[in-house]
Amino acid sequence: MSISSDSEHDVPPLQQPNGSVRLEVPTIGCIPVRPFLIILSILGIAGSFWAFIGVMVLNETMFSSYLKCFIGLCFHTAVLIGTINYYDDVLYVCQRLTLISMILSVFLVIVVLASNLKIEQVIELQLLIAFSIFVTALEYVSIERLRKYIEARRGTGGNESLA
């Protein structure tokens, strides 16, 4: 029967016995952040693509409709590339754009409330905008946690593998 020494318990939980640092994978609850952002980006790219096809099928002539689809496609592609390759600068820009999107969504709620729409239309629009704000907030927090992970990895000298 061997008795463990007290020196084993003096090691911090993230500090390995050989002196290297083991970084914890960032999560939101029990969901790992990186796969969540990858899935969210792929869904965003698909949604932007289908919205673009819808605009083309409806023969819409407004430039802003095409612009919104293009911006969504570019944004989600940038998040996907930044997440897969751990590009902190790209994720920083995407995080700031996400914050701007949340602020604009709040103003959109105010505009919808001030409009002369029927109550059913207002409720539908508010639910859609609330869902959009929720997903955008999740994306913002996920990008923030992934950026902190990238920064912590950079602080370890890059010795920690990013699997």
Residue 59 φ/ψ region, left for φ over 0, alpha for ψ in the -120 to 50 degree band, beta for the rest: left
> How many Å apart are CA 95 and CA 148, to the nearest integer?
12
What is the rounded CA–CA span in Å between residue 7 and residue 16? 13
Would you call 64 exposed, middle or buried from its count of C-beta atoms within 10 A (0-12, 13-18, 19+)?
exposed
* Cβ atoms of residues 15 and 21 within 8 Å: yes
Q: Considering the entire predicted model, what is its pTM? A: 0.76
Q: Write out pLDDT tens, residues 82-94.
A: 999 999 999 999 9
For residue 95, what pLDDT band results from cuts at 50, 70 and 90?
very high
The CA-CA-CA angle for residues 156, 150, 77, to 5°, reads: 155
In this predicted model, what pLDDT tens digit does every residue of 101-153 receive, in sequence order? 999 988 888 887 888 878 888 888 888 888 989 999 999 999 999 999 998 88
- Checking if the pLDDT of 10 tops 50, the result is no
- CA–CA gap between residue 96 and residue 100 (Å, rounded): 6
Q: Decide which of 23 and 95 is more confident.
A: 95
**Helix/strand/coil percentages in the chain, nearest 5:** 70, 5, 25
Query: Residue 132 and residue 138: Cα distance in Å, rounded?
Result: 10
**What percent of the chain is modeled with pLDDT above 90?**
44
What is the reported pLDDT for 124? Answer: 86
